[in-house]
Structure 1
Amino acid sequence: MRFKPLAAAVVTALSFTALPGWAAWPDDKPIEVVVGFAPGGGTDLMARKLLPFVQRRLGPNAQFIVVNKPGAAGELANGYAARAKADGYTLAVVNMPSFFFVPMTKKSQYQPEEFQLIARVVDDPTVLAVRAESKFDSLQALVTESRQRPGSVSLGHNGAGTNGELAIHLLGRAAGVQLNPIAYKGTAAQKTDLLGGHLDVALVSAGELPELHGGGKGQVRGLAQLMPKRTDVLPQVPTATEAGLQILMSSERGFAAPKGVPADILKRLEQAIAEALKDPEFLGTSTDDKVISFLPGAQWQRSMDQGRKALLPLADSHPKN
Structure 2
Amino acid sequence: MHKKILALLAAFAVAGCGPAVAAWPDDKPVEVVIGFAPGGGTDVMARKLLPFVEKRLDGKAKFVVLNKPGAGGEIAFTSIARAAPDGYSMGVVNVPGYNFLPMTRKTQYSTDEIRLVARVVEDPGVIVVSAESKFTNLADVVGALRSKPGSVTFGHNGAGTNGHLAIRLFAAAAKVQPNEISYRGTAAQRTDLLGGHLEVGMVSLSEIPELHGSNKGPLRAIAMMSKQRSPQLPGVPTAEEAGVAIVSTAERGFAVPKGVPDDIVNRLEAAIADSVRDPDYIRSSPGDEPVLAFMPGAEWQKRLDDMGQALRPLADELKASEQK
1:41-98 Cα shifts (integer Å, max 9, x gaps)? 1100100000000000001221100011000011001111100111111101000000
Whole-angstrom distance in 1 between the partners of 2:290 and 2:30: 28
Is the contact made by 1:150 and 1:179 (CA closer than 8 Å) also made in structure 2? yes
Q: Determine what percentage of the aligned residue pairs are the same residue.
A: 57
Structure 1 window deviating more from structure 2 (28-37 vs 226-235): it is 226-235
**Contact 1:210/1:216, CA 8 A, preserved across alignment:** no
Residues 214 and 233, structure 2, Cα contact 8 Å, conserved in 1:
no
SS of residue matched to 2:241:
helix
Which segment is superposed worse, 222-231 or 181-190?
A: 222-231
Matched, 1:307 2:289: no
Q: Please say if residues 215 and 233 of structure 2, whose CA atoms lie closer than 8 Å, have aligned partners that are also in contact.
A: no
2:249 is the counterpart of 1:259: no
**Aligned residues of 1:41 and 1:208 also touching (Cα < 8 A):** yes
- In 1, Cα distance between the equivalents of 2:296 and 2:243? 35
Contact 1:206 1:212 in 2 (8 A): no
| CA distance, structure 1, for counterparts of residue 276 and residue 232 of structure 2 | 17
CA contact (8 A) 1:56 1:62 kept: yes
Give the whole-Å Cα distance in 2 for the aligned partners of 1:204 and 1:25. Answer: 36
1:49 paired with 2:48, answer: yes
Where does structure 1 lack aligned partners over 5 or more consecutive residues?
A: 1-12
Deviation at 1:236, TM superposition (A): 2.1
Hey, what's the Cα distance between the residues in 2 that align with 1:241 and 1:217?
Answer: 22
Q: Map 1:78-97 to 2 at 5 A.
A: 78-97=77-96
CA contact (8 A) 1:27 1:61 kept: yes
Distance 2:22 2:169 in 1: 50
CA distance in 2, matches of 1:60, 1:171: 46
1:217/1:238 Cα in 2 relative to 1: closer, same or farther (>3 Å)? closer
RMSD (Å) for aligned C-alpha atoms: 2.0
Residues 22 and 207 of structure 1: is their aligned pair in 2 closer, same or farther, counting only changes over 3 Å? Answer: closer
What are the equivalent positions in structure 2 for 1:133-282 lying under 5 Å apart? 133-213=132-212, 218-282=217-281
Equivalent position of 2:7 in the other structure: none
Residues 129 and 203 of structure 1 are in contact (CA less than 8 Å); yes or no, is this contact kept in structure 2? yes
Q: Which whole-Å CA distance do the structure 2 matches of 1:313 and 1:153 have between them?
A: 26
| Matching residue's letter, 1:295 | M
Q: Which amino acid aligns with 1:116?
A: R
CA offsets 1:258-292 (integer angstroms, 9 cap, x no match): 11111111111111001101111111110211110
1:22–1:28 CA contact under 8 A, matched in 2: no
CA–CA separation in structure 2 for the residues paired with 1:81 and 1:200: 34
Contact in 2 for aligned 1:211/1:220 (Cα 8 Å) = no
Is the contact between residue 34 and residue 91 of structure 2 (CA under 8 Å) also seen in structure 1? yes
3-state SS of 1:147 partner: helix
Distance 1:167 1:160 in 2: 11
Structure 2 partner of 1:132: 131
Q: CA deviation at 1:23?
A: 5.9
- The size of the alignment, in residue pairs, is 306
Q: 1:127 to 1:22 in 2, by over 3 A?
A: closer
Unaligned runs of 5+ in 2: 1-11
Which moves more between the two structures, 95-104 or 130-139?
A: 130-139
Q: Distance in 2 between matches of 1:216 and 1:228?
A: 19
TM-score computed with the length of structure 1 as normaliser: 0.91
- 1:169 Cα deviation (Å)? 0.6
CA apart distance, 1:231: 2.2
Matched letter for residue 271 of structure 2: A
TM-score, normalised with respect to structure 2: 0.90
Q: Distance in 2 between matches of 1:202 and 1:163?
A: 12
In 1: Cα distance, 2:59 partner to 2:52 partner: 12
Asked if 1 retains the 8 angstrom alpha-carbon contact of 2:213 and 2:233, the reply is no
CA distance in 2 between counterparts of 1:41 and 1:215 reads 21
1:290 is matched with: 290
**Cα distance, 1:128 vs structure 2:** 0.5
